[in-house]
Amino acid sequence: MLNETALKGTLLTDEPLAKYTSWRVGGPAQRMYIPENKADLIEFIAGLPDGEPLYWIGLGSNLLVRDGGIKGTVINTRSRLKEMYLMDSERVYVEAGVPCAHVARFCSDLGLTGAEFLAGIPGTMGGALKMNAGAFGGDTWGIVDRVEMINPRGEVALRDHHEFEVAYRSVKGLDQEWFLSAQLKLAKGDSDASQQHIKALLEKRNASQPTNRPTCGSVFKNPPGDFAARLIEACGLKGYAVGGAVVSEKHANFIENRGSATAVDIEALIEHIQTQVQTQFGISLQTEVCRVGEKA
């Protein structure tokens, strides 16, 4: 049973999630736990009642929380689970709450190459591991050696890469387990060249994406042999709005919150885009963003 007096972290109730998501929308979490560290989180999960629904949030990107909020417990790893260190000459330990951009810089500073693409992912390692996040031709599981998992009973296990079925923006084999950390295997290289690579990637990202607007990152997966943004733009949907949600004029695979959007607006716009692309091109766009919670 959960012993709240023994907890080192912070337990909140009816906590509005809009302030934790990059889209700035979402109803309240029934409960939110902000752990002090990994050990505290393990103890907290071990003490939860059987069957308690668990959700995880890091930087809140790639996430649409519906307006009715989340029933159950949300684990908030933002600024928590942030340990990162060099394990040996080519392997780096990264906890789930570390922002991907920090991982890219850390590895680059050490003269390790292969993680530069993480600089273009606006989330944490936990989220990147869950969806095999990628950018600029690289993807997360291409550099993963092992991962540390936790189950609903608070039991922790170290699992190898080959135990998961990994594909484009997809990871199967989780089976009610969540990521605590990862061991990344990288190659030795030139630190200066790596840092220049990161700089070029970020310049490309800033030039092509609405990085200064409330978005979730890319909304749709690219269909085989094509790009979601090209299809959406070809449908004439750049600038199309539903309530406070609008298709970005800068990059058609981004939906911006103009300040007054609700989750209902965003979800309706997602469905409108899917309908138009299906009607005009016969292609079913699949969402990359994870939709959770109850409708209001």
Task: Classify domain 228-292 by CATH architecture.
Answer: Alpha-Beta Complex (3.90)
Tell me, what's the pLDDT at 7?
A: 85
Would the pLDDT of 48 be above 90?
yes
* Percent of the chain residues topping a pLDDT of 90: 94
Residues of the chain with CATH 3.30.43.10: 4-76
The whole-number average pLDDT for the span 186-207 is 93
- The yes or no reply on domain 4-76 and CATH 3.30.43.10 is yes
**pLDDT beyond 70 at 272:** yes
Following CA atoms 17, 20, 25, 30 in sequence, which dihedral angle do they give, to the nearest 10 degrees?
-10
Q: Flag whether pLDDT at 2 surpasses 70.
A: no
| Whole-number average pLDDT of the chain | 95
Q: What mean pLDDT comes out for the span 177-198?
A: 95
Q: Give first-to-last CA distance, the chain, whole Å.
A: 31
Q: Check pLDDT > 90 for residue 23.
A: yes
Q: State the catalytic residues.
A: 169, 218, 288
- What pLDDT, on a 0 to 100 scale, did the predictor assign at position 1? 57
> What are the tens digits of pLDDT across the range 79-112?
999 999 999 999 999 999 999 999 999 999 999 9
For residue 99, the 8-state DSSP code is B
Helix, strand, or coil (residue 120):
helix
Q: List, by residue range, all CATH 3.30.465.10 domains of the chain.
A: 84-208
Residues in CB range of 212: below 8 A, 6 or more apart: none
Confidence of residue 175 (pLDDT cuts 50, 70, 90): confident
Looking at residue 63, its pLDDT comes to 96
pLDDT-based confidence at residue 33 (cuts at 50, 70, 90): very high
* Res. 263: pLDDT tops 70: yes
User: In terms of Cα–Cα distance, which of 58, 105, 60 is closest to 78?
Assistant: 58
In the chain, pLDDT over 70 holds for what percent of residues? 98
Q: What is the pLDDT of residue 259?
A: 93
* Beta strand residue intervals within the chain, DSSP E: 10-16, 28-34, 54-57, 63-65, 70-76, 84-86, 91-95, 112-113, 134-135, 138-139, 144-150, 156-160, 165-167, 170-172, 178-185, 187-188, 241-242, 245-247, 255-257, 290-292
Any idea which fold 84-208 has?
A: 3.30.465
Is 31 in contact with 74 (CB distance < 8 Å)? yes
